[in-house]
Each structure stands twice: as C-alpha cells, then as structure tokens.
Copies of this chain bind each other. A is one copy, B any other.
Amino acid sequence: MPPLPRCAIVREVGLRDGLQSIATVVSTERKCAWVRTAFAAGLREIEVGSFVPARLLPQLADTADVLHYAKTLPGLSASVLVPNLRGAERALELGADLMILPLSASHAHSLANLRKTPDEVVAELGRIRAARDASGRRTLIEGGVGTAFGCTIQGEVRPAEVLRLMQALLDAGADRVSLADTVGYADPAAVSRLFEQALRIAGDRLCCGHFHDTRGLALANVVAALQLGITRFDASLAGIGGCPHAPGASGNAATEDLAFLLESMGVDTGLDLEALLALRAQVAGWIEGEPTHGALWRAGLPQTFCPARARA
C-alpha cells in the first residue's frame, strides 16, 4: 500500500448535506448543540448550512443563526454552501470562513438542480470572487465539482469534462476545488484515476473528496484518494444525506465510520471517537424516524482501538 498521509481532516457536512435531504426540521438550538459537541469532539471544519431561499429548504432557514454561533468557537472553520452570488453576499456579510459553490459536471443535473449550465456556474464563481475581493473579507471560495463520477439523470459524465470545469473554476478565481461523487457511482479505481489527473491540474488546491455511500463504496473510495495524498473528506454523522432517487439508500459517508477508518490506519484526525459516537446517538434521536446509516455505532470500537495520536 502506498504510504498514507499522517493527518487528515474530516469535514462535517451533516448540518447541510444531511439535513437538506430529510423532512425533519432540527431546531436552531439543537443545531448549535450539534456544532458545539462536534467541536468538543475535535471537529474543526463544519459546514453549518446553506444560503438558499428558505422556501426551497426550510430545514436550513436558520443558517445565519447557526453560522453566528459557530463563529464563537475559536479555531472552528465554519463553511456554508452558496448556490449563487446572492448567497455568497450573505456568507461574506456574516463572515463565513469558507463558502462552497456547487457545480454539477453533469449538464443535465446542473440544469435540473441549479437551473444553470456548468459554465454559467463558473461565471457566477467569477462574480463571487469579485465580490469577495471587493468586500475585504477573508472568506475562502471552494468550487465543489459534483456528479464527478456520473449522474443519475445524464448517466456518464466524462472525466475530461470534470477536469475542464475544475480548471475553469480555478481560472475564475476559486481558491480551491473539491470533487464529489454525489450519487454513489464512484469506485476506488475511478477515484484513483480522476483524482490523479485532478491533482496534476490543481495540486494542493484540490482540497477535498466528498463520497456518498449510496452503493457501499464510500470508505473504499476515501482510501483510494488518501493514497494519492488527499487529506480532507466530507462526511455526515449517522451518514445522513440520502439520495432522492433511491429512497432509504445510504447518504454521505458516516463521520464516525470515516474517523474510525482513518484513525485505525494511523491517520490522525484529532477526533475523539467515543465523543463522536455519543453525538451520533444524540443526532439520531433528534431525527427519529429518518433513515440513518453507518456500522460502528452498533458494534462499538474494538477493544484494541488506539487513536493515531497515541501511537506516535
């Protein structure tokens, strides 16, 4: 096995990618408790919500409040998803550490979900960059290239198109980019091929892998990207997220399982697994009746488990 990075960052996206996919509305108070407890468990990057119109995603209508709270935690990078310049302006106004602009490399998916072509999203990123520069804020801009391994509407998404759009996002002013397997079509070999090519273009500006576990391969895909030196992965507690095209199907990689994978392999995440499992139980309680996922929570940590940090 190729040598692995010594450290990796797990970015919690359950408050955004998770909650946006389920009907239950979690209260602002509980979302803040989630952020607080996740921070206490060692998470230092949390996507707290999305600046989309509240009528589209009422579950995330309180994103400004959650962001406001997250900013009180020293050393926490609080990110938000922004679908357009309007959302970016709110993120800048409220001082988000990072804003993520999603671009779907599948034209069909892009039109269906964002009502824009991928190249129109690239142009929007250019406007967001101009707004950021004019604002004097330090908010980072991440271009998140989704459906990077295929799409449930369009089917195949050509790697050359994914790479072209990633390059275009960087050219338009993205500080960094990430690749997402939005629908669980990726496999470790495909991840290895695409991330290797993407690294050649973006270098360390390729900052994150986002793998859905729709078909059970998320963690194997993480290892494939990790072997190439990718050191940031999105995940949501209890694997919430789901897929609108496959009711009950798994969503994001489960934060607690991903952390267990990394720590077991000796890759330091700075996370307290027992604390994460306790928070997972709390979150699962708040969304009772919604499908949750993951394996570690049932079995518990191995008796022999030793965090990466304790082995050094």
Query: Chain B CB within 10 Å — which of A184, A185, A219, A243 has the most?
Result: A219
Partner of A295, one of B152, B214, B304: B214
Which residues of the partner chain B approach A227 to less than 8 Å between Cβ atoms?
A: 1
- Per-position 1/0 for A278-309, Cβ under 8 A of B: 00000000000000001110111011100000
- Per-position 1/0 for A235-257, Cβ under 8 A of B: 00000000100111110001001
Which residues of the partner chain B approach A257 to less than 8 Å between Cβ atoms?
A: 215-217
- The yes or no answer to A266 lying at the interface (CB within 8 A) is yes
- The yes or no answer to A260 lying at the interface (CB within 8 A) is yes
Partner of A216, one of B4, B249, B295: B295
Q: Are A150 and B187 in contact (CB under 8 A)?
A: no
**With A1-B188, A150-B302 as contacts: A295 and B156 at CB distance below 8 Å:** no
- The yes or no answer to A192 lying at the interface (CB within 8 A) is yes
- The yes or no answer to A101 lying at the interface (CB within 8 A) is no
Which residues of the partner chain B approach A91 to less than 8 Å between Cβ atoms?
A: none
- The yes or no answer to A264 lying at the interface (CB within 8 A) is yes
- The yes or no answer to A22 lying at the interface (CB within 8 A) is no
Which residues of the partner chain B approach A155 to less than 8 Å between Cβ atoms?
A: 303-304
Which residues of the partner chain B approach A187 to less than 8 Å between Cβ atoms?
A: 261, 264-265
Q: Are A1 and B246 in contact (CB under 8 A)?
A: no
A261: shortest Cβ distance to chain B, in Å? 6
**With A189-B265, A219-B219, A261-B217 as contacts: A150 and B298 at CB distance below 8 Å:** no
Partner of A266, one of B150, B189, B216, B217: B189
- The yes or no answer to A76 lying at the interface (CB within 8 A) is no
- The yes or no answer to A141 lying at the interface (CB within 8 A) is no
Q: Are A298 and B264 in contact (CB under 8 A)?
A: no
Q: Are A220 and B261 in contact (CB under 8 A)?
A: yes
- Per-position 1/0 for A1-16, Cβ under 8 A of B: 1101000000000000
**Interfacial residues, chain A to chain B (CB-CB below 8 A):** 1-2, 4, 150, 152, 155-156, 183-185, 187-190, 192, 213-217, 219-220, 222-224, 227, 243, 246-250, 254, 257, 260-261, 264-266, 294-296, 298-300, 302-304
Pick 20 A–B contacts, CB within 8 A, sort by A: A1-B188, A1-B227, A4-B189, A184-B302, A185-B302, A185-B304, A188-B265, A190-B264, A215-B257, A215-B302, A216-B254, A216-B294, A216-B295, A217-B260, A217-B264, A219-B220, A246-B298, A247-B298, A249-B298, A250-B299
